[in-house]
Amino acid sequence: MRLIHSFGHAFAGIGYSLKTQANLRIHLVAAIAVAVAGWLLQISTVEWAILVVTIMIVMSAELFNTAIEAVVDRVGAEPHPFSKIAKDTAAGAVLIGAIGSVIVGLLIFGPRLLALIGTR
Contact 36, 81 (CB under 8 A): no
Count CA atoms within 13 Å of residue 82 on its CB side.
Answer: 5
Alpha-carbon span 2 to 12, nearest angstrom? 15
Contact 37, 72 (CB under 8 A): no
Count CA atoms within 13 Å of residue 119 on its CB side.
Answer: 6
Enumerate the active-site residues.
62
